Amino acid sequence: MGRIFCGHLSGRLPEANLAAVADVAPGLAERTAAEFAVPHWYADYNDLVTRAPVDAVIIAAPASTHADVVEAAAGAGLPIFCEKPLALTLADCDRAVAAVERAGVPCQIGFMRRFDRAYARAKRLIDEGDIGKPVTFKAVGRDPMMPRLEYARPEVSGGLIVDMAIHDFDLGRWLMGSEVTRVTSEGGTLVFQELNTVGDFDNAVINLKFANGTLGNVEVSRNALYGYDIRTEVLGSDGAVLIGGLQQTPVLLLTREGGHHDVVTYIVERFGDAYLAELRHFVLMAQGKEEPAPSIYDGRAGTEIALAATLSYREGRPVALPMPEAEPA
């Protein structure tokens, strides 16, 4: 994600300049700075937020570090963009929220699907009443590969549900216009048994109950070896809206052997424009021209649902929200 953002800020967003990068990996910040012609680089994010000539900060570090970096950037008085999830515990989410509130700086969370043209149009159609009252929300999120085991560790990425389903939880809150009050999860390691060695798994299905009585269902998977499969459906009292599909280009080849079309390969191919749009919004936010959206409070809400869903899977029981702060995920 850091490389994607560097690329956008170095050539596709004339409203902003990439002034500095930081990374703890030996040599990576220096190599990235050279690749993107960035004048300043650091091995410690604290040096970046306190010494670099920057007006705002983008956080694309491991999820386990997000709260610390948010706290440092807020302490330096800088507007913040933070990739999802906000943190891996509710306590760290609240620490990040408190730092942002204390400093009075804006903070945007990287739920890029809200900036995708298809999802944005679906939101407008729902808000304008084209499908009547939303009744059920269904989402499919399937990655085309197993992640690196080091990344899959729950203490690094949060694990399958926190890492992947959090996007769908945010979409559910956003499209249904209601908070989640109960989650029930089923899951397992059904294909990539090596994930068991780090405490993660590869498939899950999560049922949601919203505060307004509506229902939701989210499926996430690590083993869509055919491509990147992201789809969402909202059923209303008077119709439905379907977002996304497998096909990348609108070309269907018909032969004696049947129909053939391409398949979306991965994240950048599907959501590249959305990543650019969310960064453009962040730049305007840092300039005081837009409000943070999705906000740090959206980030906390999505994380809480993901932690509750993970707890439901681990303990084999429904979990109610809001969660007690002391309850582990």
Residue 56 — very low, low, confident or very high, per pLDDT cuts 50/70/90? very high
Q: What is the mean pLDDT of residues 239-263?
A: 88
Which pLDDT score is estimated for 7? 92
CB atoms inside a 10 Å sphere around CB 205: 17
Does domain 2-112 match CATH 3.40.50.720? yes
Which tens digits make up the pLDDT trace of 133-160? 999 999 999 999 999 999 999 999 999 9
Which tens digits make up the pLDDT trace of 172-208? 999 999 999 999 999 999 999 999 999 999 999 999 9
C-alpha–C-alpha distance, residues 224 and 259, integer Å: 20
Which pLDDT score is estimated for 145? 94
Mean pLDDT of the chain: 95
Which pLDDT score is estimated for 205? 98
pLDDT at 246 over 90: no
Q: What is the mean pLDDT of residues 23-36?
A: 95
Which pLDDT score is estimated for 329? 47
Residue 253 — very low, low, confident or very high, per pLDDT cuts 50/70/90? confident
Of all residues in the chain, what percent carry a pLDDT higher than 70?
98
Q: Tokens 């913040």 appear where?
A: 80
pLDDT at 316 over 90: yes
Residue 260 — very low, low, confident or very high, per pLDDT cuts 50/70/90? confident
Which pLDDT score is estimated for 234? 97
Cis peptide bond N-terminal to 250, omega within 30: no
Spell 52-69 as b/e; 16+ CB within 10 A means b: bebebbbbbbbbbbbbbb
User: Would you say the pTM of this structure is higher than 0.85?
Assistant: yes
Which pLDDT score is estimated for 325? 63
Residue 83 — very low, low, confident or very high, per pLDDT cuts 50/70/90? very high
Question: Three-class SS of residue 15?
Answer: coil
Q: Tokens 């798994």 appear where?
A: 201
AA identity, residue 240: A
pLDDT at 82 over 80: yes
Which tens digits make up the pLDDT trace of 279-289? 999 999 999 99
Lowest mean pLDDT among 36-40, 177-181, 236-240, 268-272: 268-272
Which pLDDT score is estimated for 228? 94
CATH superfamily, domain at 116-266+296-320: Dihydrodipicolinate Reductase; domain 2 (3.30.360.10)
Domains of the chain, by residue range, sit at 2-112, 116-266+296-320
pLDDT at 328 over 80: no
Closest CA to 276 of 106, 116, 36, 122: 116
